[in-house]
Amino acid sequence: MEEDEMQNECFEEEVAAINSEMRFLCLELMKISTQRSVPFPQVMHEFITNTNTMKLALANAENQTEKLTKRKTTKMC
């Protein structure tokens, strides 16, 4: 099998996995929407907002960890 074919196959597998995960998330958000009697777009917006907040929090935590690591390394020298 050629390298291009292998990369294409790998890409297709990744796309399939992403689609599967998206279907799962969509079903879970639909359940939440039904349980809370809230329109699906509102639940989806809330999920996306929470995801973005988590992403920012993780990035900030990573930056703080890097700063602390640099300080410790500098002090040890």
* The predicted structure's pLDDT at residue 8: 84
Distance CA(21)–CA(27), nearest Å, equals: 10
Give whole-number Cα distances, 28 to 42, 45, 52, 65, in Å.
14, 14, 18, 33
20-57 tens-digit pLDDT: 999 999 999 999 999 999 999 999 999 999 999 999 99
The span from the CA of 29 to the CA of 35, in Å, is 10
Whole-angstrom distance, CA of residue 75 vs CA of residue 71: 6
How many Cβ atoms from other residues are within 10 Å of residue 43's Cβ? 19
Query: Which span out of 5-14, 34-43, 55-64 was modeled with the highest average pLDDT?
Result: 34-43
The model carries a pTM of 0.68
